[in-house]
């Protein structure tokens, strides 16, 4: 290992025609703007509305922050590459992308697990809910998620930055995807791959099993509720969370289900595009459109704002 690292990588992105390049640019730009708008509205609403100061919404606010960060680490660069056709990315830039993506996605899995626990307590032990999900518990859960996500991302980025690469390396992806970058390293990467596997188990499979267990208990409790109205009410408090879990786990899982083939890298890129440009948008949509609390908060905030601006205008 000589440890020499290239100044630049080249991101090959998608092999599309010049016409389609513009369509791709506009489409991604639109999605990126909507992701920023949707998530910032969610963050603003939750911070401005006292009725939404509950554990569920605090965690949702955390999720939105993560979404904004990881999407902003990837999509602006992708947009630049698409429109300028200059596919170079500096080595530190590449490591930074990798770090932010791993950090945010790892943290989101853990936050989704904390939210599942919150739903479990709310449905299965409603009387103890205020005691169990206290302010301290929530802050500790959120802090632990951020810290674990941060540490794993740090270890991964350091390991990749110490690996060696040939000069001017092509990366067949639209951002510095950890798996793809490791694949083109010229030094031995077995230890990084082993670590990656361990992290997938720790931050992917283990939280998934915890979420699954919570939902088994939730469903068992819901089945025992006598009135069908009560059943619907108990389950609908979980349905938004369940939808986001399925979206969040479905995409990477299906990526790992695809057998290795010459075309698997292309499918991988398309799935990654879904993951970085569509899933973060669905997150606020799922929570806001289907949720009376959020809609009510939106209405009260806009009412307040309009009344304020009308007052200001009439004073002039």
Ligand X SMILES: *[C@@H]1O[C@H](CO)[C@@H](O)[C@H](O)[C@H]1NC(C)=O
Chain positions contacting ligand X, by CB under 6 A: 55, 58-59, 61-62, 65, 138-139, 142
Are 106 and 198 in contact, with CB atoms under 8 Å apart?
no
- Judged by beta carbon, residue 29 or residue 144, the one nearer ligand X is 144
- Size of the chain, expressed as the number of residues it contains: 316
> How far apart are CB 119 and ligand X at their closest, in Å?
14
CA distance 118 to 112: 10
8 Cβ contact partners less than 8 Å away, ≥ 6 residues apart: 88, 89, 90, 91, 168
Of 137 and 239, CB closest to ligand X = 137
Considering the complex, state which of residue 50 and residue 259 has its C-beta at the smaller distance from ligand X. 50
- 3-class SS at 49? coil
Nearest distance in Å: CB 137, ligand X: 9
Closest to ligand X by CB, 99 vs 146, is 146
CB 292 within 8 A of CB 47: no
Q: How far is the CB of 138 from ligand X (least distance, A)?
A: 4
Nearer to ligand X, 52 or 176 (CB): 52
Distance CA 258, CA 268 (A): 8
Nearer to ligand X, 29 or 301 (CB): 301
Shortest gap between Cβ of 67 and ligand X (angstroms)? 11
- State in angstroms the smallest separation of the CB of 141 from ligand X: 7
* Locus of tokens 């949509």: 285
Query: Which residue is closest to ligand X by CB?
Result: 58
Rounded distance, CA 96 to CA 104, Å?
12
| Shortest spacing between CB 248 and ligand X, in angstroms | 17
Strand (E) or helix (H) holding 205: none
The encoded tokens of residue 265 equal: 């890298």
């Amino acid at each position: 290992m000589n440890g020499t690292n290239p100044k630049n990588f080249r991101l090959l992105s998608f092999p599309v025609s010049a016409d389609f390049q513009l369509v791709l640019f506009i489409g991604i730009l639109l999605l990126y703007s909507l992701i920023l708008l949707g998530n910032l509205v969610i963050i603003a609403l939750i911070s401005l509305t006292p009725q939404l100061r509950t554990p569920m919404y605090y965690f949702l606010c955390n999720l939105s922050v993560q979404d904004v960060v990881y999407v902003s680490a990837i999509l602006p660069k992708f947009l630049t590459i698409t429109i300028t056709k200059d596919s170079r990315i500096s080595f530190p830039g590449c490591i930074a992308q990798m770090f932010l993506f791993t950090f945010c996605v790892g943290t989101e899995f853990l936050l989704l697990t904390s939210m599942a626990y919150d739903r479990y307590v709310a449905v299965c032990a409603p009387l103890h809910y205020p005691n169990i999900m206290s302010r301290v518990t929530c802050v500790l859960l959120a802090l632990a998620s951020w810290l674990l996500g941060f540490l794993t991302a740090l270890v991964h980025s350091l390991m990749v930055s110490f690996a060696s690469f040939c000069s001017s390396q092509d990366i067949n992806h639209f951002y510095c995807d950890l798996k793809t970058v490791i694949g083109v390293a010229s030094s031995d990467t077995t230890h990084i791959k082993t670590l990656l596997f361990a992290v997938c188990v720790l931050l992917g499979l283990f939280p998934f099993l915890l979420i699954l267990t919570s939902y088994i208990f939730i469903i068992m409790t819901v089945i025992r509720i006598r009135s069908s109205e009560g059943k619907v009410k108990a389950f609908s408090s979980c349905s938004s969370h369940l939808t986001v879990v399925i979206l969040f786990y479905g995409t990477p899982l299906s990526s790992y289900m695809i057998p290795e083939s010459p075309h698997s890298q292309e499918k991988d890129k398309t799935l990654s595009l879904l993951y970085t440009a569509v899933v973060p948008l669905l997150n606020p949509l799922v929570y806001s459109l289907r949720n009376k609390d959020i809609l009510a908060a939106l209405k009260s905030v806009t009412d307040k704002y309009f009344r304020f601006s009308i007052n200001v205008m009439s004073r002039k």
